[in-house]
Chains A and B, each alone.
Chain A
Amino acid sequence: MSLPDYGFYILCGTAVVLLVSEAVRDPGKTAVFGLTQGAIFALVALGYTMVYGIIELINFAHGDVFTLSAYIGTSILGLFAVTEGSFTALNLITLLIIFPVVMLIMGGINVGIERVAYRPLRNAPRLAPLITAIGMSFFLEGVMFLWKGPATVHFPNILPPWTTTVAGVFFGFKDIFVIVTSAVLVALLAVFINRTKLGKAMRATAQDRDAAQLMGIDINRTISATFFIGAVLAGAGGIIYGLYYNTVYYQLGFRTGLIAFTAAVFGGIGNIPGAAIGGLIIGLTAAFSDIYIGGKWTQVVIFGILIGVLVFRPTGLLGMRVPEK
């Protein structure tokens, strides 16, 4: 254990003590809100971490894929006569339809993005795919801007407006819905990565692309699958975000993407459970910072954490030390 490791553990310990003490002082909305937004960050962070793990690309377009899914979601919801503010059978059916449809559409779009913008540059200088990723990010923002204009877009509020207080903690159906859905998706992803053949291929490709290829793994197909799954999760995250906040904005993906990326780095980039835990921690930190330090400092706090983690422990919370190439 080296000195930076101690620094990291001291940082983490301080953060945990602060969070716990704040949670004791205010055992209510803030913690619940933090967990909820953390669950959404986690879903987006998974896409970042998977893509980075497999092709070492910071996929700047990922945050915009997340936003685009909310835009597509709200358009599809517009086709149904959903009831806002209360919960009907039609709302339930719509929900059951909208999730798989949008997730599949987003997966397809992301595979297309990879095919057009990243695959031709796989052997180009390192910075070239980074620039195309930024280009794709602008492109997707432009598409949303063109589609719905610069104003915020309303996302129908179709979840039951039920709230309750248990042991002094105030929460609603929405909070439970967000946390449970995200947890289920993360669990499904973990099973997929660890138990299926394609998941194994993805792990192998992330470890050593050439060796994986020699073992007969179709690299292009595996990378496409990674982008597909990343976008499926981001698609679900976008709809969940829309259902929870009921308003989206075409540039939402930029900031959310950066924060989710911070979460991925915090958990150890390339590490899937790390991204999920990182998302929750960053979400909680942001919520407490909003309340106790002030909203205008939240960004400074989050990026300060990002820098602190990278300086003291670049491999993040759960990352492994990889030999330098």
Chain B
Amino acid sequence: MSNATMSGRQSPFGRLNLRDRIRDRDTAVYGILIIVALLFPLVTIYATGGTALVSHATYAGYWVLLAIGLNVVVGFAGLLDLGYAAFFAIGAYTYALLASPQLASSPAHHALHGNFWILIFVSMMMAAIFGVVLGFPTLRLRGDYLAIVTLGFGEIVPQLFYNFDQWTGGINAIGLIDQPILPAWAQGPWSGDGDFKIVSPFSFNTDPVAYYVLICVLIAGAVILVTNLYKSRLGRAWMAIREDEVAAAAMGINTVTTKLLAFSIGASFSGFAGAYYAADVALVSPDNFLFIVSITVLVMVVLGGMGNITGVIVGALAMYYVVFYLIPGLPQNVTSLANSVGLGSLNQSSGDWPGLGEATQRLNFIIYGGILVGMMLLRPQGLLPSRVREQELKHAAVQEEEAAVEQAHA
């Protein structure tokens, strides 16, 4: 401590007390994330001349929202949910049905085109209601049994969207979903549009930057909300249930409502993200909500550090980069690398050899699986584990060690 203040007097950087200020890891991470989020579209549009990377960042944003929501269920309340994609599907389909021409070709014969800003909350409520519907009968269950029920739910929901094809279009998916409209929007060089101008009214469909800005705002709102929840009475109740449900009940916590709130709040984030996703992609199909989605979100939460909001955000961004950018891009990168180092002959397919790019493509599953196993073996507690959890784990380990020592002596 005294060292930090000493150097503070000497160097100009130290005078800002930066070291003290970023001692709090979370503040530092938030600071970096905000700066990156602000600079990202400017830098990428300037560097690549296109908005493809901004769209990528927007997709990453959904995953961040999903991970933040799942963290409430898994990280805070300790309820393992393996069917989280079901709520994402419910949110997306709610918006898609109420804001597209789909219902015209259904038995209802009348298309609805609701307002995005209202429907996004309707979708959120819908997902929350289904969270309660699923949560209510499963309250008696614990741990893995709960995981299995949610897994079953997650398998049923997309299948139902397939099967009720009169309403949802089934395998044909729902397309032509309405875009959000704002009364006014500012465009300028930062969004690659040249001169500054005010567009009014503004429809989102032409502009990936608008989606990017909106998702950043939504994530910021979600983070503030979840942080406050974490510090609230409800947050402490979740933590108490996570640690010991019987003891929590004995302390006067209503475990039924507390668990149901965890389920429905977690689900509502997913429904919210789902509606936004439906609007951005303008096409929803049951295939977008399979088990792999639930698993990917869970991996993001666990990898980032369960229970820690900054950890979860970092985990979601890291996993998104690996799963949706690095691995799919690998075949092409390997091919061009081989060309540039003079091994271009490897890229031709001959006999059993499918060519280097194709071979790398076939390795995708192995790489993904290997990353999951490797990361968990190296850091089972996640990239940025929650400080509280870390201490608890250490404490438990020490206790176990002591017990082992006693055992050995006895």
Contact = CB atoms under 8 A, between A and B. Distances in A.
A178 B363 CA distance: 34
Contact of B162 (A125, A141, A296): A296
7 contacts: A127-B298, A131-B372, A135-B368, A140-B369, A307-B149, A307-B156, A311-B137
Given A127-B80, A135-B371, A121 B380 contact: yes
Nearest to B245: A324
Contacts of A297: 163
Interface stretch (A26-34, A142-150, A183-191): A142-150
B302 A128 contact: yes
Interface stretch (B17-25, B139-147, B182-190, B255-263): B139-147
Nearest to A135: B372
- Highest count of chain A CB atoms <10 Å: which of B151, B364, B371, B397: B151
Contacts of A307: 137, 149, 152-153, 156
Contacts of B372: 131-132, 134-135, 138
A112 B74 CA distance: 30
B338 interface: no
A323 to B, nearest CB: 12
A137 interface: yes
A165 interface: no
Contacts of A146: 362-363, 365-366
Interface residues of A, number: 47
Interface stretch (A66-74, A85-93, A298-306): A298-306
B156 A304 contact: yes
Given A123-B400, A135-B369, 13 more contacts: A121-B377, A131-B298, A131-B372, A135-B372, A139-B366, A141-B365, A145-B365, A146-B363, A146-B366, A303-B153, A303-B156, A304-B152, A310-B148
B159 A299 contact: yes
B155 interface: yes
Contacts, number: 131
A137 B302 contact: no
B295 A303 contact: no
A77 to B, nearest CB: 20
A142 B366 contact: yes
A52 B147 CA distance: 13
B41 to A, nearest CB: 33
A142 B364 contact: yes
B328 interface: no
A143 B370 CA distance: 11
B159 A300 contact: yes
Interface in B61-99: 74, 80
Contacts of A261: 148
A138 B364 CA distance: 9
B160 interface: yes
Contacts of B144: 52, 56, 58
B141 A314 contact: yes
A143 B162 CA distance: 30
A120 interface: yes
A139 B365 contact: yes
A38 to B, nearest CB: 19
Interface in B270-295: 291, 295
Contacts of B151: 258
A126 B371 CA distance: 19
A254 B369 CA distance: 14
B253 interface: no
Interface in B365-404: 365-373, 376-377, 380-381, 393, 397, 400
A132 B376 contact: yes
A80 B118 CA distance: 67
Interface in A212-229: none
A89 to B, nearest CB: 33
Interface in B107-163: 137-138, 140-145, 147-149, 151-153, 155-156, 159-160, 162-163
Given A135-B369, A139-B369, A300-B160, A125 B381 contact: yes
A324 B246 CA distance: 10
Contacts of B153: 303, 307
B142 A324 contact: yes
Nearest to B140: A314
